[in-house]
Amino acid sequence: MPDDSGRSFARILAANVFTVFNGVVGGCFVFLLVLGAWQDALFGFFVIANTAIGVEQEFRAKRTLARLAVLNAPWALVRRDGIDLPCPVEDVVLGDTLVLRPGEQLTADSVLVEGHGLEVDESLLTGEADPLSPQPGGELLSGSIIVAGAGLATVIRVGADSYAARITSEARQYSLVNSELRTAIGRIIRWLSIGLLPIGFVVVNGQMQAAGGWSVAISSGGWRGAAITSTASIIATVPAGLVFMTSVALAVGAVRLAGGRVLVRELAAVEGLARIDMLCIDKTGTLTEGTMTLDRVEPVAGPVGGWQSALAWLATDPAANATARAIGATFGPDRAEGGPPDVVVSFSSRHKWSAVHFSAGVSAGSWVLGGADVVFAEQPADAAHRIRAGAQASARDRTLVLAHSTHPIREGTPRLPAGLQPVAVLVLRERLRPDATKTIEYFARQDVELCVLSGDDPQTVAAIAAEVGIPVTNTAVDARELPGDPRQLADMLRTQRVFGRVTPEQKKAMVLALQSLGHTVAMIGDGINDTLALKHADLGIAMGSGSAAARSVAQIVLLESSFSRLPQVVAEGRQVIANVERLAKLFLTKTVYAIVLAVAFGLLLWPFPFLPRQLSIVDGLTIGLPALVLALLPNTRRSRPGFLRRAALFCVPSGLVVAGSVFAVVASASVGVQPPIGQVRTLAVITLTLSALWVLVLLARPFTRATAAVVAGAYAGLVAVIAIPWSRDFLQLELPPLGLVACAVAVSAIASLLLELVHRLLGRGVSRADG
């Protein structure tokens, strides 16, 4: 079998270590350590954290996919030279004869040679709920389960050519969740990395010139301070904490979902929850529980006595199928009167009925249970229709008729007795999940469309979809009539939403077609037949009770198999991503003003007014600590595409205003008698912190107790940093005259007013900032 689940651990490690982000931030980190300025190298934590998170996520996904297997049977029973031998699955070869027995999984694609009452369950592979009764010469797929009977089959495909292997191979390929945030942040970092080359040259040259020129700085040792300040200005342009805080916010969402018994396999899947506008679902196991229940029994006029007892015997037959067992939940052994029947004919999908015969007692005679069209096949064609119509069953119901005859049933080859008369009509109904209707209503309110992709009969699928509130035009589309051309399929999916008889390959094609129409598609399923669609959807969601293959490829697993968990899952995703967008705007505003300040001071050949450690404390007050609270704010609106455009409209003007305020204060302090560099740095820290805090105020609205406390704490933190002597010493700050402090505060207040004005003019109030 194929054994390839993507990159090796060495390649995973290399891909996450040797990135542009790590090159820039890690290079600056090492450079400062070499210079002995470890106090200014605190930002190196982000290099380690980002790398560790990336490696852990991808390697965990690789291990999960490596365990993926459609085939779970370790042994096969093969007939060689007339002897039945147990054989390891990997030793089954072309031309082997497989011995088929109930309860076993078919280990290779085969052609049936002979069968005796053989019934094969392909529901996990194809979605077809009813067992199949293959005829000699018919093809059997690997991964199917033998549910009844016995037979022999010749192996025609093994290894990578088998049906199970093809599904396994495609499902095992590692792929990342489609993440607009991750893509956008990666694009920003690439742009910054390209821009850092000219920016870095301008900054380094400017700081060396400010230290007296290259020759003087090198000979006097002033290059050391110039190098540290250059590193400060360069590292400030990189949103080092953004990647880390995004991962933290997603992890918080994953932990919350885990508390609700929802397993998130990849953190970026939480973002996918916020963006979905199309949810594809299977019927069985999602809308329904996959079991039948007896809805009602309607006696036919003039019923024969003892029919309840006969029905109880039929339902409690040890070989009874799932339908008969559903009847047994109502007509149990306690309703079976008299002795056991003299003749029992167990249900088989070959003759599609079961029967018992009593020679005496209250239930004397022959009793047959089956579909009306089978039991009364020899009567006029409209007889069966009249019997079913009398029960007034819907398309989603399954009707059976209990018939009685005074003629005996012949043992051996089953044949219906003569003179059958209808006694009662039994209406069975596939059990709906009790939470299905409310969950569907939730998605309708949230503007998330639903598309039902089922392997069952189209009429049944349509009836169940309509009952839970999914709009159905006439009836479900029979997928056997779907066009093979992707564009024609996409055109059909513009209007149709309910499909029956859908194969696994068609489910995948339909997911891709919906994506081509611009939808962000989530697929929820529980069977092997859903595996390919789960794999190619923007977000795969599996039921915990489903197949191991479905759980392995899905990014999210509903451990309690509860459809009603989905609203909580979607709401959590929307909250997390809305807050990540807030965080991104906070970090990227810093990137904008850092670039402007670096270029401006570099071109003017002025000393850069910050040390790395000073910028670290400003980041902590204006971004780092507040980000932990902003990541938890409530929000339920669906995220929209266009994150970069929205971020640019907010961050560019905000960054320009903040940078302008710092430049204005440093420039005014340089007029006349220039204060010591320590005082200039203090004024720059005060101005930058107060101006940047107003950006935080804009993004924290509407205020809650938590956000108000964070903002107030940030302002108090600035006062503490300036007032506490040991803090000033560590940060190399000096207290300037009160007049200069008042000037810095006044400029910051003007900058805050400008930020407010720009924010309102752009129409990006916080009530609309989350898209």
Give residue for tokens 């994953």: 254
| CATH entry, 262-287+434-561, from 3.40.50.150, 3.40.50.10490, 3.60.110.10, 3.40.50.1000 | 3.40.50.1000
Q: 548 pLDDT band (50/70/90 cuts)?
A: low
Q: Using the predicted structure, report yes or no on whether residue 490 has a pLDDT greater than 80.
A: yes
* DSSP assignment string, 412-469: SS--PPSS-EEEEEEEEEEEEPTTHHHHHHHHHHTT-EEEEE-SS-HHHHHHHHHHTT
Higher-pLDDT residue of 686, 43: 686
Rounded CA separation 90/76 (Å): 9
Q: What is the pLDDT of residue 68?
A: 42
Give residue for tokens 């309102």: 760
Q: Using the predicted structure, report yes or no on whether residue 540 has a pLDDT greater than 50.
A: yes
Is the CATH number 1.20.1110.10 carried by domain 181-245+575-769? yes
Indicate the range of 103-112, 344-353, 442-451, 685-694 predicted with least confidence.
344-353
Q: What is the pLDDT of residue 692?
A: 92
Q: Using the predicted structure, report yes or no on whether residue 516 has a pLDDT greater than 90.
A: yes
Domain parsing of the chain, residue ranges: 1-71, 75-106+109-157, 181-245+575-769, 262-287+434-561, 289-432
Q: 395 pLDDT band (50/70/90 cuts)?
A: low
Give the N- to C-terminal CA distance of the chain in Å, as an integer: 47
Amino acid symbol at 705: R
Q: What is the pLDDT of residue 338?
A: 74
pLDDT digit string, tens, across residues 436-448? 888 888 888 888 8
Mean pLDDT of the chain: 79
Q: Using the predicted structure, report yes or no on whether residue 206 has a pLDDT greater than 60.
A: yes
Rounded CA separation 337/314 (Å): 12
Q: What is the pLDDT of residue 375?
A: 83
Q: 489 pLDDT band (50/70/90 cuts)?
A: very high
Same CATH fold, 289-432 and 181-245+575-769? no
Token duo for residue 548: 């191991």
Q: What is the pLDDT of residue 179?
A: 65
Q: What is the pLDDT of residue 411?
A: 66
Q: Using the predicted structure, report yes or no on whether residue 172 has a pLDDT greater than 60.
A: no
Q: 81's torsion region: left (phi>0), alpha (psi -120 to 50) or beta? A: left
Indicate the range of 78-82, 135-139, 163-167, 699-703 predicted with least confidence.
163-167
pLDDT digit string, tens, across residues 125-143? 655 555 677 888 888 888 7
Rounded CA separation 688/694 (Å): 10
Q: What is the pLDDT of residue 710?
A: 87
Please say whether the beta carbons of 556 and 542 come within 8 A.
yes
pLDDT digit string, tens, across residues 277-311? 899 988 877 788 767 788 888 887 666 778 888 88
Higher-pLDDT residue of 697, 258: 697
Q: How buried is residue 445: exposed, middle or buried, by Cβ count under 10 Å (0-12/13-18/19+)?
A: exposed
CATH T-level topology, domain 75-106+109-157: 2.70.150
Token duo for residue 280: 């594809």
Q: Distances in Å between the alpha carbon of 635 and those of 350, 572, 632?
A: 56, 8, 9
Residue 284 carries which DSSP code?
B
Q: 683 pLDDT band (50/70/90 cuts)?
A: very high
Catalytic site residues?
A: 282
Token duo for residue 388: 């079913």
User: What superfamily does domain 289-432 belong to in CATH?
Assistant: Calcium-transporting ATPase, cytoplasmic domain N (3.40.1110.10)
Residues 6+ apart with CB under 8 A from 85: 77, 78, 79
Q: How buried is residue 97: exposed, middle or buried, by Cβ count under 10 Å (0-12/13-18/19+)?
A: middle
Q: What is the pLDDT of residue 512?
A: 93
Q: 397-405 and 421-432 as β-strands: parallel, antiparallel, unpaired?
A: antiparallel
Task: Using a cut of 0.85, tell me whether the model's pTM lies above it.
Answer: no
Q: Using the predicted structure, report yes or no on whether residue 154 has a pLDDT greater than 90.
A: yes
Q: What is the pLDDT of residue 1?
A: 53
Q: 379 pLDDT band (50/70/90 cuts)?
A: low
Q: 766 pLDDT band (50/70/90 cuts)?
A: very low
Q: Using the predicted structure, report yes or no on whether residue 171 has a pLDDT greater than 80.
A: no
- Between helix 9-17 and helix 44-66 the angle, nearest 10°, is 150
* DSSP assignment string, 580-643: HHHHHHHHHHHHHHHHHHHHHHHHHTPPPS--HHHHHHHHIIIIIHHHHHHTT----SPP-S-H
Q: Using the predicted structure, report yes or no on whether residue 385 has a pLDDT greater than 60.
A: no
Higher-pLDDT residue of 524, 8: 524
Rounded CA separation 581/179 (Å): 13
Give the chain's radius of gyration (CA, Å).
35
Q: H or E element: which one contains 272?
A: helix 269-275
Q: What is the pLDDT of residue 342?
A: 86
Q: What is the pLDDT of residue 572?
A: 79
Of the candidates 574, 570, 571, the one whose C-alpha atom is nearest the C-alpha of residue 582 is 574
Of the candidates 338, 329, 412, 398, the one whose C-alpha atom is nearest the C-alpha of residue 369 is 398
Of the candidates 563, 572, 523, the one whose C-alpha atom is nearest the C-alpha of residue 544 is 563
Separation of CA 490 from chain center: 23
